[in-house]
């Protein structure tokens, strides 16, 4: 019998009130059931939110450095359990062990960074315009934070959100992706082992419509942090705005790498292979477009095809595997539909473009790394997020044309330029419409202490990571201390 996992609500591990469960399967071998999980609904969400709200006062009154110490211990436990978590994550969502280890490491880095920020929740002081008066601002938590996370980084992204939320003094109701609930359970277990007080964290498993939206709608939830698709993000924003909730959205991407004639072509080749086909292309920062200058296009494209065709597909637990499966049947079918779209639009299929079923891959959702050339910037495969191992190659004549092609999408998350020309690099940094720009590096690779997020329909202006995420999870209170002993009427007395 599969292992039966539970929610964590009101300080107890428990089933969904309705008794329903869903299966969690290995995308590399769909016959392998990793466990079953509560299929929760609004009743479970309500219990979780009310419990988190009741725990809020005691938690917010714990000094922030002490809250940081708990997160530091959670980071230590992530170090201790790193290999076990990584192996289970590979079974759960498919990406290779090298990448799941990196996923856990990102959580470790975030823990240590967030822990120190417990001593750095700075406000400001400023001189008053009136005598014998002191002005300052402080940062305070908001209350219950609803956190909704995706499946492609099932440890890293929850830590990006939950560690800062907790350090800032909020309590958290966590609704993970239904494709990666086991990693979420492990994460909550680690927080509890680290000494997080009961009820400060609540875990509610389930689907977006039955558990996610009730969390967004709940009147006692003060802020929502969501990573996922742009259509769902727009819906969350619309629903949350009815109660004026604070909302952070990290949404889709259609990222491009530009390669100019003066670039180190071998370095650029390594970058695009990793950016396009790492995690089977299932990253919001994945390189889904390659913009090549015409002077090197005919040289670079055959190099790329040759290397892509040598990438080894298989179970991510095997050391030789370089590309794992896509996450599930729905995503598999969606990617295949885009492969047909690319052909119908007139792009040239250079390699891939089909399911891969050799050997151990026969029971999984594997798609061969796919490259289209002769892609026009107006084609759907050049503008829409595919979220799979599919790369569209666009030929251009100038840097200005390359930047126009890169910007020709509703998304604006990550971008990359390979060049040795410092002037070209700074022009691209200025003119590319994206939240992130890499020079001589691929479009992927976040660092815990730097802001992460995008422009246009990639988000709503907030940032994960770095110092801005602590601003999202706190609100500013302005304080005036008047020790003059008399009524001072600000501008009225200051004319």
- The residues annotated with a catalytic role in the active site are 250, 284
Contact 474/139 with Cβ under 8 angstroms?
yes
CB atoms within 10 A of CB 483: 8
Residue 142 to residue 165: CA distance in whole angstroms = 10
Residue 467: CB partners within 8 Å, gap ≥ 6? 117, 451
SS3 content of the chain, % helix, strand, coil (to 5): 40, 25, 35
CA proximity to 473, closest of 485, 458, 462, 487: 462
Q: Which two tokens stand for residue 43?
A: 């009743």
Q: Which one-letter DSSP state was computed for residue 209?
A: I
248: its two tokens: 């952070």
Through-space distance between the first and last CA atoms of the chain, rounded to whole angstroms: 79
Residue pair 369/389 in contact by the 8 Å Cβ criterion: yes
Nearest to 396 by CA among 290, 467, 284: 290
**How many Cβ atoms sit within 10 Å of the Cβ of residue 122?**
12
């Amino acid at each position: 019998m599969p292992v039966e996992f539970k929610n964590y609500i009101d300080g107890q591990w428990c089933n969904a009130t309705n008794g329903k469960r869903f299966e969690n399967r290995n995308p590399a071998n769909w016959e392998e059931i990793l466990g079953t999980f509560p299929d929760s609904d609004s009743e479970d969400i309500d219990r979780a939110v009310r419990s988190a709200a009741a725990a809020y006062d005691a938690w917010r009154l714990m000094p922030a450095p002490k809250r940081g110490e708990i997160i530091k211990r959670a980071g230590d436990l992530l170090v201790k359990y790193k290999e076990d978590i990584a192996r289970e994550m590979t079974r759960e969502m498919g990406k290779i062990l090298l990448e799941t280890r990196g996923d856990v490491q990102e959580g470790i880095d975030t823990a240590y960074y967030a822990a120190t920020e417990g001593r750095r929740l700075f406000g400001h002081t400023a001189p008053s315009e009136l005598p014998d008066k002191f002005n300052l601002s402080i940062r305070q938590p908001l209350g219950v934070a609803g956190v909704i996370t995706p499946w492609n980084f099932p440890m890293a992204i929850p830590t990006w959100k939950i560690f800062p939320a907790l350090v800032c003094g909020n309590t958290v109701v966590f609704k993970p992706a239904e494709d990666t609930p086991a990693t979420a359970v492990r994460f909550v277990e680690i927080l509890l082992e680290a000494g997080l007080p009961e009820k400060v964290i609540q875990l509610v498993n389930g689907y977006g419509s039955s558990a996610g939206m009730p969390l967004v709608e709940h009147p006692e939830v003060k802020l929502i942090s969501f990573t996922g698709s742009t259509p769902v993000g727009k819906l969350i924003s619309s629903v949350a705005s009815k109660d004026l909730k604070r909302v952070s959205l990290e949404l889709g991407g259609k990222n491009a790498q530009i390669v100019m004639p003066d670039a180190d072509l071998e370095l650029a080749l390594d970058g695009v292979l990793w950016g396009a086909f790492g995690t089977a292309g299932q990253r919001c920062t994945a390189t889904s477009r390659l913009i090549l200058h015409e002077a090197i296009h005919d040289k670079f494209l055959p190099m790329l095809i040759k290397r892509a065709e040598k990438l080894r597909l298989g179970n991510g637990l095997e050391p030789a595997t370089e590309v794992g499966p896509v996450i599930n049947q729905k995503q598999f079918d969606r990617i295949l539909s885009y492969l047909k779209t690319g052909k119908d639009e007139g792009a040239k299929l250079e390699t891939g473009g089909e399911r891969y079923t050799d050997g151990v891959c026969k029971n999984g959702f594997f798609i061969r790394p796919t490259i289209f050339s002769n892609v026009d910037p107006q084609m759907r495969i050049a503008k829409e997020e595919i979220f799979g191992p599919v790369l569209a190659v666009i030929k251009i004549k100038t840097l200005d044309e390359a930047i126009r092609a890169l910007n020709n999408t509703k998304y604006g998350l990550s971008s990359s330029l390979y060049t040795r020309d410092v002037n070209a690099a700074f022009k691209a940094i200025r003119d590319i419409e994206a939240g992130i720009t890499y020079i001589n590096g691929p479009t992927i690779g976040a660092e815990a202490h730097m802001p992460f997020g995008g422009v246009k329909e990639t988000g709503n202006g907030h940032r994960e990571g770095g110092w801005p995420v602590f601003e999202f999870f706190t609100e500013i209170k302005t304080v005036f201390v008047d020790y003059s002993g008399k009524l001072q009427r600000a501008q009225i007395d200051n004319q």
